[in-house]
Chains A and B, each alone.
Chain A
Amino acid sequence: MRPFSYAAPATLAEAVTALAESGPGTKILAGGTTLYDLMKLDIEAPPAVVDIHRLAEIAAVDTTRPGEFSFGAGARMADVADDPVVRRDFPALAESLAKAASQQLRNMATVGGNLLQRTRCGYFRGGPVFPCNKREPGSGCSALGGLDRGHALFGGGDACVATYPGDWAIALLAFDAVVDVIGPRGARTVAIADLHVEPGDTPQREHTLAGDELIVRIRVPVTPSGRGSTYHKIRDRESYAFALVSVAAGVAFDDRGVVEDCRIALGGVATRPWRAPAAERVMIGERLTEATARRAGEVAFAGARPGTGNAFKIELGVRAVADALRIAGERAVR
Chain B
Amino acid sequence: MSTPTRRVDAREKVTGAARYGADRTSPDLAHAVFAVSTIGKGRVVNVDTAAAEAVPGVLTVLTRIDPAELGSPGFVMGGGYGFQSLQPLTDDRIAYRGQPIALVVADTLVAATEAANLVRAEYEAEPVTSDLDAEGAETLVQEEAIPLPFLADIVVGDADAAFAGSAVRIEETYELPRQHQVPMELIGGVVEWRGDTLVVHEGTQNAGALRGGLAKQLGMDPAKIEIIAPYTGGGFGQKNSLQPHVGPLALAARRLGRPIKFVMPRTQTFHQASFRPASRHLVRLGADETGRLLAAVHEVDQQTSRHDLFPSMSTEITSRLYGIGHFRGRQRLVRTDVQTPGFMRAPFEHPAAFAFESAVDELAYAVGQDPVALRLANDTDVDPVTGQPFSSRYLAECLRRGADMFGWAGRTHEPRSMRASDGSRIGWGVASGVYPASVAPAVARLTATSEGKVTVGVDGHEMGQGIRTAITLLISEDLSVGVDDVTVDVGDTRVAPQHLTAGSWGTATALQAVHAALRELRKHLNVADSDPVDVGAAVAATGQTSVEVEATTIAPGQPPEIIERSRAGLVAFAGPVYPGFTAFSFIAHFVEVRIEPTTRRIRVPRVVSVADCGRVASPVTAASQVRGAVVWGIGASLRERSEVDPRFGGFANATMEEYPIPVNADIGEIEVGFVDKPDPMLNPVGVKGLGEVAMVGVAAAIGNAVFHATGRRLRRLPIRIEDVL
Chain A positions within 8 Å of B, measured between CB atoms, are 1-3, 40, 42, 120, 122, 126, 128-130, 142, 146-147, 234, 236-241, 244, 312, 315-316, 319-320, 322-323
If A122-B653, A129-B38, A322-B598 touch, whether A146 touches B647 (CB-CB below 8 Å) is: yes
Give the complex CA separation of A244 and B639 in angstroms: 13
B113 close to A316 (CB less than 8 A): no
A1 close to B114 (CB less than 8 A): yes
A-B contact pairs, 30 of them (CB 8 A): A1-B113, A1-B114, A40-B113, A42-B117, A120-B658, A122-B652, A128-B38, A129-B650, A130-B648, A142-B645, A142-B647, A147-B643, A147-B652, A234-B599, A234-B721, A236-B639, A236-B660, A236-B721, A237-B662, A237-B663, A237-B665, A239-B663, A239-B666, A312-B721, A315-B725, A316-B599, A316-B600, A316-B722, A319-B725, A320-B598
Which of A122, A129, A237, A312 makes the CB contact (< 8 A) with B666?
A237
Min CB distance, B182 to chain A, in Å? 14
Which of B601, B645, B658, B666 makes the CB contact (< 8 A) with A234?
B601
At the interface, is chain A mostly helix, strand, loop or mixed? loop
Report chain B residues within 8 Å CB of A120.
657-658
State whether the Cβ of B15 lies closer than 8 Å to any Cβ in chain A. Answer: no
Give the complex CA separation of A147 and B650 in angstroms: 13
Which of A1, A244, A319 makes the CB contact (< 8 A) with B110?
A1
Number of interface residues of B (CB under 8 A): 30
Min CB distance, B241 to chain A, in Å? 27
B665 close to A239 (CB less than 8 A): yes
Min CB distance, B498 to chain A, in Å? 36
State whether the Cβ of B64 lies closer than 8 Å to any Cβ in chain A. Answer: no
At the interface, is chain B mostly helix, strand, loop or mixed? loop
Chain B positions within 8 Å of A, measured between CB atoms, are 38, 97, 110, 113-114, 117, 598-601, 639, 643, 645, 647-648, 650, 652-653, 657-658, 660, 662-666, 720-722, 725
A312 close to B725 (CB less than 8 A): yes
Give the complex CA separation of A241 and B647 in angstroms: 26
Q: In this complex, what residue of B is CB-closest to A127?
A: B38
A238 close to B663 (CB less than 8 A): yes
Report chain B residues within 8 Å CB of A122.
643, 652-653, 658
Give the complex CA separation of A239 and B661 in angstroms: 11
Q: In this complex, what residue of B is CB-closest to A101?
A: B657
Give the complex CA separation of A315 and B110 in angstroms: 46
A147 close to B645 (CB less than 8 A): yes
B725 close to A316 (CB less than 8 A): yes
Give the complex CA separation of A40 and B660 in angstroms: 22
Q: In this complex, what residue of A is CB-closest to B720?
A: A236
Give the complex CA separation of A2 and B662 in angstroms: 34
Give the complex CA separation of A241 and B660 in angstroms: 8
Further contacts, 4 of them, CB under 8 A, given A122-B652, A237-B639, A240-B657: A1-B114, A129-B648, A146-B645, A234-B721
Q: In this complex, what residue of A is CB-closest to B643?
A: A147
A2 close to B663 (CB less than 8 A): no
B663 close to A320 (CB less than 8 A): no
Min CB distance, B426 to chain A, in Å? 18
Min CB distance, A184 to chain B, in Å? 31
Report chain B residues within 8 Å CB of A2.
114, 117
Q: In this complex, what residue of B is CB-closest to A146?
A: B645
Min CB distance, A126 to chain B, in Å? 7
Q: In this complex, what residue of A is CB-closest to B718?
A: A236
Min CB distance, A216 to chain B, in Å? 30
Which of B598, B643, B645 makes the CB contact (< 8 A) with A323?
B598
Min CB distance, A334 to chain B, in Å? 22
A238 close to B666 (CB less than 8 A): yes
Report chain B residues within 8 Å CB of A40.
113
Min CB distance, B153 to chain A, in Å? 36
Min CB distance, A117 to chain B, in Å? 13
Interface pairs A-B: 8 shortest CB-CB? A238-B665, A312-B722, A239-B665, A319-B598, A129-B38, A239-B663, A42-B117, A236-B660
Give the complex CA separation of A42 and B657 in angstroms: 18
Most B CB contacts (10 A, CB to CB) among A236, A239, A316, A320 go to A236
Give the complex CA separation of A122 and B643 in angstroms: 11
Give the complex CA separation of A2 and B652 in angstroms: 24
Min CB distance, B539 to chain A, in Å? 51
Report chain A residues within 8 Å CB of B663.
237-240
Report chain A residues within 8 Å CB of B721.
234, 236, 244, 312, 316
Q: In this complex, what residue of B is CB-closest to A311?
A: B722
